Structure 1
Amino acid sequence: MRRALSLTAVLAALLLPAIGPAAAGPEKGGVIDVATIGEPPTLDPMASATDIVGMVGQHIFETLFTFDHNWNVTPLLAEALPTVSPDGKIYEIKLRQGITFHDGSAMDSADVVASLKRWLTVASRGQQVAPLITDIAATDALTVRITLKQPYSPLPALLAFNNSAAVILPSEDQDVPLRQVIGTGPYKLKERKPDQYIQLVRFEGYRSRDGEPDGYGGARKQYLDEIRFVPVPDPNTRIEGAVSGQFAYADSLPVEQFDKIKAGKSEPVLLEHFGWPMIRMNAKQGVLADMRVRKAVQFALSESDMLAAAFGDTKFYAVDGAMYPEGYPWRTDAGVEGNYDVADAEKAKAELKKAGLGEEVPLRILTSRQYEFHYKMAQVAAEYLKLAGFKVKMDVVDWATLVQQIQNPASWDIFITHSPFLPEPALINILAPASVGWWDTPDSRAAVDALNATSDPAERVKHWQRVQELIMAEAPIVKIGDFSALSAKSPKLKGFEPSPWPAFWNVYLEQ
């Protein structure tokens, strides 16, 4: 009953000025404005796999596990990592004592069971594992048991991820759509004014883990009184706000503005090899439901030209078709040759002919200017696709509209998006048949199932090679390349650690 990153080297940050030995230590107090790329489509972290929802939501809600600075799974609301049965089918999770929700009620196993069951139905990543779960039950007030039909090695990583996240909610507040914004996080929602701000204030009842901060794990100290996430859809406005010192932090800035930011009142923050932009294709409905037409798109494109248009200087990008860059255990070139940076209009036309299609094949590209590099890539892609015989219609919308529109397979063929490099391949959402794009073939299911069924690292690497081969062969997406992400912070904002989803616990303002 309830009561009333080593990934660090890969994600290396630009060195920021260190606090000198005479600098004052952290003090509580202060309000910061964080400029984001737009208004989150929801504050329900289960219902969305978008970065903006994960970025804001991680301050309000928490998961059982999270990731440390080396991207290893580490406990958050759980007391420790799960105990797994010898056959890999039963996970027993002990919960921390004394955790309270923002409404003052105590968290117990009933909340966790209700939340995980909601996650299985609401979240795309929950739906990914739902067919394998036979039971989620509380064995006592602070213990939860998850029973699987078969081993599924990525389960702890899925439970740790903050997009389409398995956040823990009060058992009484499981409405769909979410009605109450109540979590266990270090900050709680005070006010939301759509298209103006999301105001979070310190949750005085928060219980941090002991120890030192460690990536997203470890201690989460609440120095700031208030965090205001301010939607600023226009990237030029975010740039000007950063240069003038209007924002304590400005997210997702055009990398070509690095020198301008450096000369202003903010410090540039660069995450090298942050992630990969992609063309996502609608494999469920429309012309791209035919794999041959997806291959035509793949053969038509010049990824190198798309990257050059989006990022300019090669210090901000790499032309690389492999799903993981050098330095990751998952790195493989399997399937890349002949399927990446082809830019062959005649080869693309031959695929259209195989599909029984001629010239003027209609193709709808959905994109947004809130991520300016998405828009620039879409422009280049459109020109190459026209050369290959497609009649391209480009719809430019705000990001929140795009996120809503892609849920309807009748309304788009292609959209441009991006992802950070993730520590566990099963977290790549195209591998979930229910995720937007709806890639689901007998070969893909067999390959992904084999990847997930074994816990042996060497065997998993071999299975991942097969998955990448299929991504290249069946073209549910086109990986465009690798890129670095630019943001900006105030020199007074201390304790900030650059990461794919910027977090503002353990952060304070220099007095």
Structure 2
Amino acid sequence: MRPRLVLTLAVLPIALAACGGGGSGGTPVAPSVADATADNRAVKSGGTLNIALNADPDALDPSVSTTLVGREVFASMCEKLFDIDAKATLVPQLAAALPAVSDDGKEVTIKLRAGVKFNDGTAFDAEAVKKSLERHRTWEKSARQSDLAAVSKVSVVDPATVKLTLSRAFTPLTAQLADRAGMIMSPKALETGGDNFGASPVCVGPFKFGSRTSGSQIVLDKAPDYYDAAKVKLDKLVYKIIVDPNVRAANLKSGDVQVADQLATTTVKGVQADPNLTVVSGGGLGYYGLTINTGNATGSTEKPGPVNTPLAKSPQLREAFELALDRDQINKTVYNGLYEPDCFPLPADSPYRSPSLQCAKRDLAKAKQLVQASGVPTPIPVTMTTPNDATNQRLAQVIQQMTKEAGFNVTVQTAEFVSTLEQGKAGKFDTVLNGWSGRVDPDGNLSNLITSRGSNNYSGMSDPGIDDPIKEAAAATEPAQRAELYAKALQRAAEVRGVVYLYHNKYYLGMNKTVAGVQYFKDGLPRFVTAGFAG
């Protein structure tokens, strides 16, 4: 584990909480999620598109990858059985149609697109699908095992059909197959590369892997064997790793890159002001919040145990801590008003979110009453672990100040992002700032994150009132029934308060106005299959 820096952040002057309002010096105009797909200008053939990524992806192996930036690169070179469209609806991609499901929900039959080749020229068929799915679900190094845990068997019906046998009905399966668990890899490349497949990955996609320089760039070339190659106009994609958000924006303005991903909210306004640039938004499926260790004594996948901190021992103090927070002011102060404040992990526009789920506003008087009634001497000590980037430290400052008014004394520990995840998984924290990039099916935002012994359940929550409705919802097929069950689980989770949700983060994509045909959806993954330079 990497060393941590321990500090108490300076108290933020209260006057700053009002910054970021409207007008020439205030909040940027929030771009619409539809802006990218509304750009239907004709594009010419040829050219290289340079794209700035905000981090270096992990291994380009769909079985082991865990990063959002990795998913961005996969979107151009590793197609999946299913995908989402501009309305976040599940649609076939390498599959020929949505799956056929048996009455008991335990047999799922998938017809495959015909005439498809991998980017090494070999045939895509049911045997190839079986090989990839088996690797995803059984390989000991695979991070997809939990995604496909309901699958007990993969069978080849004929060259264009696979059948998945499930141990239990699992409605979210199609959504899982619209992410890395549904990416199909070339059997030939798997045999050649083995565990090192990610060094030279081969899938089906509009672009094929060219080269990678660690920490610098990833180059993809137009794939001549792609089944829809005629609509692919660009010759090459170059993903450049530019971690610093100000440098990323500067490179976009200078023309060194034509697209920049995940613009910091502090740079959006400056990019919008440039007459040669535009900003579009995506994302919104995920969330960010403060996880409170309530029972993660020895690790998130282990049996919960007692945690000896004031917040862990008292649901009333956790309620007071949350009531001391003003989500709207956090959004304005830290994010220029460009995120979506919320207290639940499902987006407000999700069809699976019940209208009964409502957020309480800041109530400092009640927070103080709860603190006083607890009998714990004030100020109540809280240690908060946060990634060491400037934005997270800014968020920590605001939380520190707001909760101080209610009687808490928050000490902030900063660490590298990966270290905060290690500490979260191991249970070596009091509270930690972290988030989730989000999935189109609500199960992907819940099962592994707030149910008992889930690998990402850093809080250590374990409550039948949360577990049972989520499990029932995964087996249900009617959206209304699933929404009702998720409402039960989330109401109970809101009472336990293992996670204090703060907002749904949007992703902002900066582009040169010469670039057209980019697709940017609610998953925050830029798609360049139809992109190019305007003719």
| TM norm structure 1 | 0.81
Distance in 2 between residues matched to 1:185 and 1:418, nearest whole Å: 26
Deviation of 1:449 (Å): 0.8
What's 1:215 paired with?
A: none
What's 1:311 paired with?
A: 335
Distance in 1 between residues matched to 2:202 and 2:312, nearest whole Å: 40
CA contact (8 A) 2:261 2:510 kept: yes
What's 1:393 paired with?
A: 412
Deviation of 1:297 (Å): 4.5
Q: Does 2:257 align with 1:247?
A: yes
Distance in 1 between residues matched to 2:499 and 2:77, nearest whole Å: 32
Distance in 2 between residues matched to 1:295 and 1:473, nearest whole Å: 8
Distance in 1 between residues matched to 2:123 and 2:422, nearest whole Å: 34
Identity of aligned residues (%): 22
Distance in 1 between residues matched to 2:208 and 2:512, nearest whole Å: 23
CA contact (8 A) 2:467 2:489 kept: no
Q: Does 2:236 align with 1:187?
A: no
| Pairing of 1:139-150 with structure 2 (within 5 A) | 139-150=157-168
What's 1:72 paired with?
A: 89
Deviation of 1:136 (Å): 1.8
After superposition, the C-alpha distances for 1:471-503 in whole angstroms (9 at most, x for unaligned) are 312223222134544321011111123322111
Distance in 2 between residues matched to 1:273 and 1:140, nearest whole Å: 37
CA contact (8 A) 2:125 2:159 kept: yes
What's 2:186 paired with?
A: 170
One-letter amino acid matched to 2:456? S
| CA distance 1:481–1:393, change in 2 (3 Å) | closer
CA contact (8 A) 1:124 1:435 kept: no
One-letter amino acid matched to 1:451? A
Gaps of at least 5 residues in structure 1 are: 1-8, 20-24, 209-218
* SS of equivalent to 2:526: coil
What's 1:36 paired with?
A: 53
Deviation of 1:123 (Å): 5.6
Deviation of 1:192 (Å): 1.1
Distance in 1 between residues matched to 2:418 and 2:489, nearest whole Å: 31
Distance in 2 between residues matched to 1:10 and 1:263, nearest whole Å: 16
After superposition, the C-alpha distances for 1:277-319 in whole angstroms (9 at most, x for unaligned) are 3234455236576673755643443323321222234xx3444
What's 1:419 paired with?
A: 437
Distance in 2 between residues matched to 1:400 and 1:187, nearest whole Å: 30
Gaps of at least 5 residues in structure 2 are: 1-30, 298-306
RMSD, aligned α-carbons: 3.4
CA contact (8 A) 1:296 1:351 kept: no
Deviation of 1:125 (Å): 5.8
One-letter amino acid matched to 2:296? K
One-letter amino acid matched to 1:277? Y
One-letter amino acid matched to 2:34? A
| CA distance 1:14–1:169, change in 2 (3 Å) | closer
Deviation of 1:154 (Å): 1.4
Deviation of 1:37 (Å): 1.1
CA contact (8 A) 1:33 1:228 kept: yes
Distance in 1 between residues matched to 2:466 and 2:373, nearest whole Å: 21
What's 1:207 paired with?
A: 227
| CA distance 1:350–1:230, change in 2 (3 Å) | farther
What's 1:4 paired with?
A: none
CA contact (8 A) 2:112 2:126 kept: yes
CA contact (8 A) 1:41 1:403 kept: no
| Pairing of 1:48-447 with structure 2 (within 5 A) | 48-121=65-138, 126-130=145-149, 132-162=150-180, 165-171=181-187, 173=190, 175-176=194-195, 178-179=197-198, 180-208=200-228, 221-264=231-274, 266-271=276-281, 274-275=284-285, 276-282=287-293, 284-285=296-297, 287=309, 292=315, 295=319, 297-313=321-337, 316-334=338-356, 336-338=358-360, 341-342=362-363, 346=368, 349=371, 361=381, 363-369=383-389, 373-385=391-403, 388-397=407-416, 399=417, 407-410=425-428, 413-419=431-437, 422-428=439-445, 430=449, 433-435=454-456, 437=458, 439-447=461-469
What's 1:22 paired with?
A: none
CA contact (8 A) 1:374 1:417 kept: no
Distance in 2 between residues matched to 1:294 and 1:181, nearest whole Å: 46
| CA distance 1:289–1:205, change in 2 (3 Å) | farther
Distance in 1 between residues matched to 2:196 and 2:363, nearest whole Å: 44
CA contact (8 A) 2:128 2:185 kept: yes
What's 1:5 paired with?
A: none
* SS of equivalent to 1:298: helix
| CA distance 1:150–1:114, change in 2 (3 Å) | same
What's 2:16 paired with?
A: none
After superposition, the C-alpha distances for 1:333-392 in whole angstroms (9 at most, x for unaligned) are 545455x645565366469768xx9866452412242xx644432332233455643542
**Range that drifts further, 480-489 or 31-40:** 480-489
Deviation of 1:250 (Å): 1.0
Deviation of 1:416 (Å): 2.8
CA contact (8 A) 1:352 1:358 kept: no
Distance in 1 between residues matched to 2:116 and 2:400, nearest whole Å: 51
Deviation of 1:12 (Å): 3.3
| CA distance 1:319–1:127, change in 2 (3 Å) | closer
CA contact (8 A) 1:43 1:57 kept: yes
Deviation of 1:181 (Å): 1.7
After superposition, the C-alpha distances for 1:173-230 in whole angstroms (9 at most, x for unaligned) are 285565442211221221111111111111211113xxxxxxxxxx993211111111
